[in-house]
Structure 1
Amino acid sequence: MKEQKQKHKKTEKEKSFAVKNKWKVAFLALLGIIVGLVGFFFLRATQQREVIQYDTQPIVQREGEPVLSINSDKEQINALIDFYLQNYQKDSDVEYHFQLENQAMLTGDFKVLGAPITFYLYFDPYVTDDGNVQLQADSLSIGTLDLPVKQVMKMIEKSFKFPKWIEFNPDEETVLVRLDQFRMENGLFVKAEKINLVDDDIQVSLYLPQDKEK
């Protein structure tokens, strides 16, 4: 009888030990999957698959007096931006939006592991001495993810189609709007004079192309 009881106790202990081992293995497997997914996402989010190089064009100096000076506001500029981007992105599979509020805001969607993630990247705009516009990244909102602005800008640069006169510099966390490289259909140049988003005061000048100035 004693031997049977001892054998029964050993069997119960062995069963209990086996159950604990199964739970331990399951827990470790689940932990491994979670760590693997986190590592995979971080690698995909921070990896730069290719180096994107743009041929930086020399600054086009706009000489002489402007043919027209325009005072505008954010609502009018946003309408122009929306019209331009709708036409520019009509054949693109992914879209982004850019608008002026108290800051400049670039927004769009990434797909990470098949799930869309919306980002909001905020910039402070500055007019450069040559009449272009530099956007200095100020803050980033991308759901609950905590990613550096530099890496997100690299992802944006690779994921979306931008005009040739838009120059990204993720290392400096800036975007340069090369208005000196932008042409209207009639050939007019655009030069930024002032951007004050808080007071809603935006001023630009239009210049004739050089061959028509003579």
Structure 2
Amino acid sequence: MVEESEKKQPEKKRKRNKKEKKQSVNKKLNPWKIAFLALIGMLVGILLFVGIRVTQVREPNYDSSKAVPRSGNPVLSIQSNKQQINELISFYLEDFQKDSEVTYDFYLENEAMLAGNFKILGHPIQFNLYFDPYVMDDGNVQLKAKSLSIGTLGLPIKDILEFVQRDYNLPEWVEVMPEEKYILLRLDKFQMMNGMFIRADKINLIDDDIRVSIYLPEDNSTDSSATSETSSSEE
């Protein structure tokens, strides 16, 4: 009996030593400290993710080789106003964005405005970006960004344009230039369903005077001119 009790004593000592070691390890690993470090790691990861998404830029989504040559005289010149143009834009964007998760609005007041939103840490942030439109010599339209309304955030216009370029589903004929702070409407790439295309002649939002010209496809215009020449020669 004495020998058995002597054998049990070392075993009890070993168990006690193991228990003491575990307690000392638990004391060293402060749970509050672990939680704090985990929180810091999570915040750093979120900030890195947001930083990468904001600074990442994709290539421009247009190909100048697809530009439609516009020559000769227009078949129709149209004078319109902001209300009529806004109805056309709304109809076009509603159809264009019907399968898009991220949507935006564009309309004309005394200045052109792009309204949309993006998310920061899961919270939607709404913005309104204002432009001055200019008709270029080639009949395209440049929208020069002039101001930004985005609540209490102090993001620059360049960052918002980079976000629009990267995350918005834009038509192929819309080119975003964040560095230069403008959007270019490549009307020479925009064709209607019947093949006709348009050219901007004048945009005066203050006086509500918007003028565009309608052109036939180059092949059709060539055919029609050839037909007229043939008929005149027969006469």
**TM-score interval for Structure 1 and Structure 2 normalised by the shorter chain:** 0.7 to 0.9
**Equivalence for 1:197:** 205
The question of whether the paired residues in 2 share the 8 Å contact of 1:165 and 1:182 is answered with yes
1:64 aligns with 2:77: no
- Structure-to-structure mapping, 1:23-38, within 5 angstroms: none
The question of whether the paired residues in 2 share the 8 Å contact of 1:41 and 1:112 is answered with no
2:115 to 93, 98, 107: 107
**Equivalence for 2:152:** 144
| AA at the equivalent of 1:150 | K
The question of whether the paired residues in 2 share the 8 Å contact of 1:45 and 1:151 is answered with no
- Identical columns (%): 52
The question of whether the paired residues in 2 share the 8 Å contact of 1:60 and 1:180 is answered with yes
- Structure-to-structure mapping, 1:1-214, within 5 angstroms: 39-40=47-48, 43-44=51-52, 46-48=54-56, 50-58=57-65, 59-214=67-222
Judged with a 3 Å threshold, the aligned counterparts in structure 2 of structure 1 residues 39 and 91 are, in CA distance, closer, same or farther, namely: closer
Matched residue of 2:214: which SS? Answer: strand
The question of whether the paired residues in 2 share the 8 Å contact of 1:61 and 1:130 is answered with no
Q: What whole-Å deviation, never above 9, does each CA across 1:160-197 have from its counterpart, x for those lacking one?
A: 10000001111101111001100001111100000000
Report which of the two has the higher share of helix.
2
**Equivalence for 1:21:** none
Structure 2, gaps ≥5 residues long: 1-32, 223-235
In the aligned structure 1, how far is the partner of 2:50 from the partner of 2:61? 27
Could you list the structure 1 runs, at least 4 aligned residues long, displaced by more than 4 angstroms after superposition. Answer: 35-42
Matched residue of 2:153: which SS? Answer: coil
Matched residue of 1:131: which SS? Answer: coil
Q: Kindly state the Cα deviation for residue 56 of structure 1 after the two structures are TM-superposed.
A: 3.3
Q: What whole-Å deviation, never above 9, does each CA across 1:29-78 have from its counterpart, x for those lacking one?
A: 9xx79x85995586256321x53233431453311111100000000000
TM norm structure 2: 0.72
Matched residue of 2:160: which SS? Answer: helix
Structure 1, gaps ≥5 residues long: 1-24
Structure (1 or 2) with the larger CA radius of gyration: 2
**Equivalence for 2:229:** none
